[in-house]
Amino acid sequence: VTSVAILPLVPCHGDTLAAIHAVSFAEPWSTADFARFLTQPGVIGWVAGSGDAQGFILLRRAAEEAEVLTLAVDPAARRQGLARRLLDHALEDLRARGCAACFLEVAADNVAARALYAASGFAPCGRRRGYYRRANAPPGDALVLRRDL
Ligand SMILES: CC(C)(COP(=O)(O)OP(=O)(O)OC[C@H]1O[C@@H](n2cnc3c(N)ncnc32)[C@H](O)[C@@H]1OP(=O)(O)O)[C@@H](O)C(=O)NCCC(=O)NCCS
């Protein structure tokens, strides 16, 4: 994909992002949830797509550290490099704002996301047991990942 634009996430993206989030995670976030996040101090987001938003990343910055709150790509647009571009763009922006490290949580069994983050230089720095509640399965562990910026 060469014609993908990365743009700042703004409240009017909320409906599209809620739709992508709902098909990507067990616990959906509403349009209002996204709007609320965007009013919080330090929260930054980016959307990617050629036309409508097909993927997004939401982060929170606090002093010299940041965390990825969520990242998802529409199932129809996966494996085209959108998540990698969103992550690269977001990390470059954090670096430019003076952040020194970025953290995130990922389900230990999320093969796709773990491969993406490992390729981007994130390494495990902790494990939260039973962190993810699931409908018809036992709670899943979260890995805490970190990388220097
Ligand atoms: C994880 C997710 C964001 C990846 O989005 P994507 O746009 O398809 O990812 P990219 O095309 O940029 O892939 C980048 C790298 O991630 C890894 N990857 C992505 N999808 C993968 C999969 N299904 N299996 C294994 N590795 C995968 C690969 O290393 C890939 O590089 P490659 O294509 O050169 O092999 C997407 O699968 C998604 O939205 N999943 C559901 C939500 C989620 O799990 N979000 C992360 C929560 S922490």
Give the closest residue to 144 by CA, choosing from 117, 115, 111: 117
Interhelix angle 14-24/31-39, nearest 10 degrees? 110
131 is catalytic: no
CB 42 within 8 A of CB 61: yes
Note if the pTM is more than 0.85. Answer: yes
Residue 143 reports pLDDT greater than 80:
yes
Q: Is the CB of 113 under 6 A from ligand 1?
A: yes
The confidence score (pLDDT) of residue 75 equals 97
How large is the average pLDDT for residues 40-51? Answer: 92
- 55 CB burial (10 A radius; 0-12, 13-18, 19+): buried
Angle at 55 between CA 5 and CA 133, to 5 degrees: 160
Dist. CA 112 → ligand 1 center (Å): 4
The confidence score (pLDDT) of residue 146 equals 98
Tell the residue nearest (CA) to atom 38 of ligand 1: 72
